[in-house]
Amino acid sequence: MTGHHDPASFTKVIPIFVKALADHPLSKWVQGTAQDYQQLLDSVPDCRPFVPLGTCTFTTKRLIDVFLYTQYAHQPNPERQRQYEECLAQLNGKRDLLTAMFLIQMSSAALLIGNAGRVVARWLTAYCDHHGVSPDVLGSLRDHHSGLGAVEKDEDRRARLFQVKTAQLADDLWQQAGCPNGGSSLYLAQARQQLLDAVASGASTN
């Protein structure tokens, strides 16, 4: 999403769209949205009130990149892993907080990309329909898997909420212990067991 070496990306598509539409109002709007996106990437993540201003110095682009290259899409390399640890150190080892910051910034970036992308996609469809051509582009994953995007199942929602509560309790336990090195992840097992015991106790009284 943020890589400069990718053959195609949001930031590389927008200039092509703007050139094609010249001074059309849609062109100017999409260009403005792309500028907002770039400003977001270049700025320090703003996650108040959870993270006070001045706590972090890394940019949103760095935050997104280190997560994509160490946690999800790619195999980590020493440089990216070092960058991830540097971001984590600025939050005193609070992995869950860093993850929350990543998800918040990803959501903001995705909203900008989605808003501009829908305009570009509709214009491309209209252009192709008018000229009778078929674009050589990949279809959506949802076109081949109808279940994607379905309403979250109750059991999945309960599991997700349990994970959120576990992370919150682990952070509380970590702070109560004086914030030792290693972050709140040290207390995830203890937090999970406490919640399981609480659930079992509540079930036995019903």
What pLDDT digit, counting tens, does each position of 87-146 carry? 999 999 998 999 999 999 999 999 999 999 888 888 888 888 887 877 666 665 556 555
Work out the percent of the chain whose per-residue pLDDT is above 90.
26
- Alpha carbon of residue 68 to chain centroid: 9
More confident residue, 141 or 57: 57
pLDDT at 205: 58
**Given phi > 0 = left and psi -120 to 50 = alpha, else beta, which region is 164?**
alpha
Q: What is the mean pLDDT of residues 52-80?
A: 84
pLDDT at 110: 92
Q: Looking at beta carbons, which pairs linking 113-117 to residues 24 or more positions away fall under 8 Å?
A: 113/1, 113/10, 113/37, 115/33, 116/10, 116/14, 116/30, 116/33, 116/34, 116/37, 117/10
d(C-alpha 26, C-alpha 192), whole Å: 51
- Give the type of residue at 173: L
pLDDT at 42: 95
User: pTM for the complete prediction?
Assistant: 0.61
Q: Encoding tokens for residue 120?
A: 């570009």
- Give the type of residue at 184: S
Strand residue runs (E) in 66-152: none
